[in-house]
Amino acid sequence: MRVETSDRLYRFAGALEGLLAAPDVVTLERAWEEANLDNLAWDALGHSRRAHGAALEPALHQVDRRLLAMLERCRRLPDPHVVTFRVPELERWQHAAAAALVGARWGVAGLRTVIADTSAPLGRRYFAFLALAERHPDGAWPLFERYVVTPSAHHAFVAAAVEAARYYPGHADLLVRLFQRIRGDPLQRRFLGPKILESLYVLGEECSLSLFEELLVTGHTDPDVDRCEVTRALVAVRRATGRVAPNSKFADGDDAVWRALDDAERHYEATRDRIVPVVVI
């Protein structure tokens, strides 16, 4: 049965109403866990962020209002767990809801306004930026490009810009340069590297082939095919050349390599239209 985005939002709003009625911290925590609130929230907010049109505005307004009420209440509770964990999560949800509400009311123009407002909370600007990346409208590439080429840009915005790049052909060279710039930093490479390589894979432009060929030997390996640079490179090179190249992960003549690459390629194709949010504290 297909669940409409508005139904998801009203379900989330109903769960928040139950938490607002909780008489104490113990009851609030129990209600939070029983409602599986974390999954419920991100599912509803993710669908609403990707949706178009004003039909969601009433449901988003209700969610936003109840999140603000929950924040006000939880900030007054003298409980370390609530203050340390619940309040930051509620803040993230409220920023996500507010950004989705702007998108529902004013569309791309509204999202751009939030992104440009440097006085707005960082989380709200990020979720507006993420919504713009997921919508990837024509003419938005210069904004994403600015984050791709600016070394001091916030990592969360760079990640969304890198993933948005797959919808704007002709700019793979910028992603290759970004990978070369961050490859010596272990943290940045682990965070941004898979996103860069995924967009390069989706774009499939000739200028990225030399990087993939280099990563066959020098790339990092990982059991997770999304994070394994060598597996991504093997699939990309095989797609471009029709051959399985020598690499640092599989032994020459290993019959399992074809099966592994077929499985990886199916996964890559199934997730090529996915943009993954990151946590902005």
CA–CA dist 98, 67 (Å, integer)? 10
**Tens-of-pLDDT digits for all 281 residues of the chain?**
346 999 999 999 999 999 999 999 999 999 999 999 999 999 999 999 988 778 899 999 999 999 999 999 999 998 999 999 999 999 999 999 999 999 999 999 999 999 999 999 999 999 999 999 999 999 999 999 999 999 999 999 999 999 999 999 999 999 999 999 999 999 999 999 999 999 999 999 999 999 999 999 999 999 999 999 999 999 999 999 999 999 999 987 777 899 999 999 999 999 999 999 998 76
- DSSP E strands in 132-256: the ranges are none
Is-above-0.75 flag for pTM?
yes
CA–CA dist 231, 266 (Å, integer)? 12
Spell out a b/e string for 200-225, using b for 16 or more CB atoms within 10 Å of the CB, else e: bbbbebebbbebbbebbeebbebeeb
